[in-house]
Amino acid sequence: MLMEGKKGLIMGLANDHSIAFGIAKALSEAGAQIAISYQNEALLKRVKPLAESLETETMLIECNVSDSVSVENCFKTIGEKWGKIDFVVHAIAFSDKDQLKGRTIDTTLDNFLNTMHISCYSFLEACRCASPILNEGGAVLTLTYLGSEKYVPNYNMMGIAKAALEASVRYAAADLGAQGVRVNAISAGPIRTLAASGIGDFKKMLKYNEIAAPLSRNVTKEEVGSMALALLSPLSSAVTGEVVHVDAGFHSVAMFNLKKSADLVETLKEF
């Protein structure tokens, strides 16, 4: 029981497909008590039964990261109820759906600022608010995607925000390192979640990743969950400022072999 007696907050659980739920399950199975924050009232009816399905004590808190008062109140509530905590998971991203297509250079200033606010600033804000209540030996984790490092069609403004998020991980790691707290990110391969639904061609993207990845398959939210457990537990006590890819190796390939290329052409024809 790696997380026996440990407590922490998971932000960004929307439904049973959420990566945050995969992480919550892994941590709870390892013995952690979990506070779950959800974006708004409408999500509560979905989130409540999921919280109740976990093996350990849970607490539910509404937290909309577009409102700084809501974020402050969330950490205040946790501090009052639990005192100190051991981990925070940030699994939140948002960009205007209409701008997750077309040219990135056509991004509006409004969408630039909002995407950065929800997907990047909220992480720094969570680190700041958590800082006074994080135990020494604690850890913070966020979720990112390869579209930060390399061009991925249609990821657009999200790719820019994830690049800033990954830089934020390194700077927050230096800040919180002073109090013995580690800060890392998992760069997950594509997973069918609410945030991936309605993305044009997502099915094709999954197929592309499946064929191109060294392990010739996609990843699950449970596999992201077990890496999250490693990064939030003492198993990774010397790892900080790191971005770990949980993507079946996809990020490590620049060009696939001719058989895979031929398979890909055949498979994509079928769509």
Binding site residues, ligand 0WE, CB under 6 A: 93-95, 97, 100, 145, 152, 154-155, 158, 190, 195-196, 198-199, 205
Site string for ligand NAD, 193-212 (x = CB under 6 A): xxxx----------------
Q: Which residue has tokens 């759906």? A: 97
Residue 193 CB, shortest distance to ligand NAD, in Å, is 3
Q: Does 32 bind ligand NAD (CB under 6 A)?
A: no
- Give the residue with the Cβ less far from ligand NAD, 82 or 94: 94
- Give the residue with the Cβ less far from ligand 0WE, 82 or 94: 94
Stretch that binds ligand NAD, among 27-35, 52-60, 100-108, 184-192 (CB under 6 A): 184-192
Distance, in Å, from the CA atom of 6 to the CA atom of 13, rounded to the nearest integer, reads 20
Distance, in Å, from the CA atom of 140 to the CA atom of 132, rounded to the nearest integer, reads 13
Residue 29 CB, shortest distance to ligand 0WE, in Å, is 25
Q: 3-class secondary structure for the chain?
A: CCCCCCEEEEECCCCCCCHHHHHHHHHHHCCCEEEEEECCHHHHHHHHHHHHHCCCCEEEEECCCCCHHHHHHHHHHHHHHHCCEEEEEECCCCCCHHHCCCCHHHCCHHHHHHHHHHHHHHHHHHHHHHHHHEEEEEEEEEEECHHHCCCCCCCHHHHHHHHHHHHHHHHHHHHHHCCCCEEEEEEECCCCCHHHCCCCCHHHHHHHHHHHCCCCCCCCHHHHHHHHHHHHCHHHCCCCCEEEEECCCHHHCCCCCHHHHHHHHHHHHHC
Among 50, 172, 188, 248, binds ligand NAD (CB under 6 A): 188
List 38, 145, 151, 171, catalytic entry = 145
- Give the residue with the Cβ less far from ligand NAD, 31 or 94: 94
- Give the residue with the Cβ less far from ligand 0WE, 43 or 152: 152
Residue 178 CB, shortest distance to ligand NAD, in Å, is 26
Residue 224 CB, shortest distance to ligand NAD, in Å, is 8
Joined together, the tokens standing for residue 248 give 């079946």
Pairing of strands 33-38, 58-62: parallel
Q: Does 65 bind ligand NAD (CB under 6 A)?
A: yes
Residue 192 CB, shortest distance to ligand NAD, in Å, is 7
Contacts of 258 (CB under 8 A, 6+ apart): none
- 145 catalytic? Reply is yes
- 155 catalytic? Reply is yes
Q: Does 94 bind ligand NAD (CB under 6 A)?
A: yes
| Count of residues that interact with ligand NAD, criterion CB under 6 A | 26
Stretch that binds ligand NAD, among 1-9, 131-139, 142-150, 166-174 (CB under 6 A): 142-150
Active site residues: 145, 155
List of residues contacting ligand NAD (CB under 6 A): 12-14, 18-20, 39, 63-66, 91-94, 118, 143-145, 188, 190-191, 193-196
